[in-house]
Amino acid sequence: MHTKSLKELSSLLQGKQISAPELAQHYLQRIQASDLNAFLHVDTELTLAQAAKAQQQIDAGLAGPLTGIPIAHKDIFVTQGWRSTAGSKMLENYISPFDATVVAKLQQAGMVHLGKTNCDEFAMGSANENSAYGPVKNPWDKLAVPGGSSGGAAAAVAARLTPAATATDTGGSIRQPASLCGVTGIKPTYGRVSRYGMIAFASSLDQGGPIAQSAEDCALLLNQMTGFDARDSTSLEVADEDYTRDLNLPLAGLRIGLPREYFATGLSSDVEQAVRAALAQFEKLGATLVDISLPKTALSIPVYYIIAPAEASSNLSRFDGVRYGHRAEQYKDLAEMYKKSRAEGFGPEVQRRILVGTYVLCHGYYDAYYLQAQKIRRIIADDFRAAFAEKCDVIMGPVSPTVAWDLGDKTDDPVANYMADIFTLSTSLAGLPGMSIPCGFGQGEKNGKRPVGLQIIGNYFSESKLLGIAHQFQQVTDWHRLSPAGI
């Protein structure tokens, strides 16, 4: 049951071969039996109530393509009735009075909410080890990290604890955990998916998207997730579209740009091998490979790690012990209440980013760091624009320079974590859509295989094209169908 695609699940539901409550129970039992720490909150009663409602829709003949299908939400989306912690102690007992737009939309589509997935605190991280609620294990090899910050979402889909999950990507957090867990994920063009009710990290970068087993599943999910939202000031007013429309487009003539900088030193040979094999597969499908350059790739790390913390330091100032979240029990005066509440509520990585962000926004440093970073951000976007205008239709390369590393390996070294984002950050800085699809496994199997993801980056609003390209690949390969041992 749990290896089925969304389409297959939907036809079982509509053919009455299984009911929505039965399907939800099946996944709830799997979640309960799992030791991955992928879920932070599960509430059987709430889930089954939603499943019963979905079943009524099905019985009344009012079902849509996703009605009755379970989904898990990253704990960065606020949810009415369920705790929303953003992986932080600061919001340990926070229950939102409203649903995030994404959550509401998927609920309107009849999807059944299975629970909230673990993530790095306020989505800051590349390994899910910054969660205040403990790390998530990679289902392929439980000694490995699942990637971050949407580690719970990716691990849950990989272990088939849910057929689909929502996630967010600020600098790679959909693509990188999808890559490290061997599942499919897409970050849409910035502004496609409403940020309303997505607990803010870096507002000019944050973007929601789906993680699922295949590109086709992601297309079905995106159909319900995107759309203009007046409550998000950066939401784009573009017409709705059907993201499944290009799934069957042939790839003959497709020009795939390979950025030299994505195949340079730092890329481990096992990842490169799997990516090159996938590229050869695309050539067989009729695509041509073109050499391109994205010369500012290396600068994406300092640029992102200035801009994202700057925005975070401002966004997180609302957590002051007065309006939201944790408040210290004892304090002398207001200043001490702020200080103690924030020192107790935020973990070390969040504190580090608030410090960096505050520093780069200071009078005297603003021009040297923040403004300079903004200028380079523009040049990074221009490099992509030039590549798409002159050389290629899409760009491909690795998502992560290595396969998943061991739990605990980089916990004491924040910069080593930041370096792992080298191939995902520039897409985010440019606001472009990007996805990750499974394309093989790395060498050096320890406790289990470690997956490799192929990144596909497109021009603005090219989600349907990306999904079509990925779908064509998934028609002739079965990396996305493989699941970890014992699943």
Residues interacting with ligand GLN, by CB under 6 A? 123-126, 149, 169-173, 201, 308, 421
Order the strands of the 207-212 sheet from edge to edge. Answer: 39-41, 112-117, 70-74, 164-169, 207-212, 184-187, 434-441, 451-458, 394-398, 255-259, 288-292
**What's the token pair of residue 355?**
């410090």
**Cα separation of 271 and 263, whole Å?**
10
Q: Is 149 a catalytic residue?
A: yes
Ordered DSSP codes for 242-289: -TTTTTT---TTPEEEEEGGGGSTTS-HHHHHHHHHHHHHHHHTT-EE
Select 123 or 256, whichever has its Cβ closest to ligand GLN: 123
Q: Distances in Å between the alpha carbon of 298 and those of 171, 295, 351, 370, 403? A: 14, 8, 25, 17, 20
- Contact indicator for 373, 309 with CB cutoff of 8 Å: no
Task: Output the smallest distance, CB 136 to ligand GLN, in A.
Answer: 14
Q: How far is the CB of 177 from ligand GLN (least distance, A)?
A: 9
Q: Taking Cα atoms as reference points, which of 236, 244, 168 lies closest to residue 206?
A: 168
> Does residue 449 have an active-site annotation?
no
Q: Given the complex with ligand GLN, which of 417 and 462 has the nearer CB atom?
A: 417
CA distances from 459 to 289, 364, 405 (A): 17, 36, 31
Q: How far is the CB of 55 from ligand GLN (least distance, A)?
A: 35
CA gap 245, 465 in Å, rounded: 9
Rounded Cα gap, residues 437 and 29, in angstroms:
28
Range list of H helices, 114-228:
151-158, 175-181, 215-225
Please tell me which residue in 19, 96, 149, 179 is annotated as part of the active site.
Answer: 149
Min. distance of Cβ 372 from ligand GLN in angstroms? 19
Residue closer to ligand GLN, measured from CB, 172 or 210: 172
Please report how close the Cβ of residue 301 comes to ligand GLN at its closest, in angstroms. Answer: 10
- Nearest Cα residue to 396 out of 451, 468, 469, 462: 469
Nearer to ligand GLN, 124 or 275 (CB): 124
Nearer to ligand GLN, 9 or 153 (CB): 153
- DSSP characters over 304-325: HHHHHHHHHHHHGGG-SSSSSS
Residue with smaller CB distance to ligand GLN, 87 or 484: 87
**What is d(CA 132, CA 204) in angstroms, rounded to the nearest whole number?**
25
Cβ closest to ligand GLN, residue 66 vs residue 123 = 123
Q: How far is the CB of 130 from ligand GLN (least distance, A)?
A: 8
| Sign of the dihedral defined by the CA atoms of residues 345, 347, 350, 356, in that order | positive
Matching residue, tokens 């790690």: 305
Return the number of the residue (185 or 468) whose C-beta is nearest ligand GLN. Answer: 185
Q: Name every residue whose Cβ is closer than 8 Å to that of residue 195 and which is 6 or more positions away in sequence.
A: 203, 206, 207, 208, 232, 234, 235
Given the residues 19, 74, 150, 464, select the one marked as catalytic: 74
Q: Which of 131, 173, 313, 428 is labelled catalytic?
A: 173
Nearest residue relative to ligand GLN (C-beta):
173
Residues 6+ apart with CB under 8 A from 367: none
- The CA distance from 75 to 115, in Å, is 9
Whole-number Å distance between alpha carbons of 255 and 307: 32
Q: Which residues are catalytically annotated?
A: 74, 149, 173
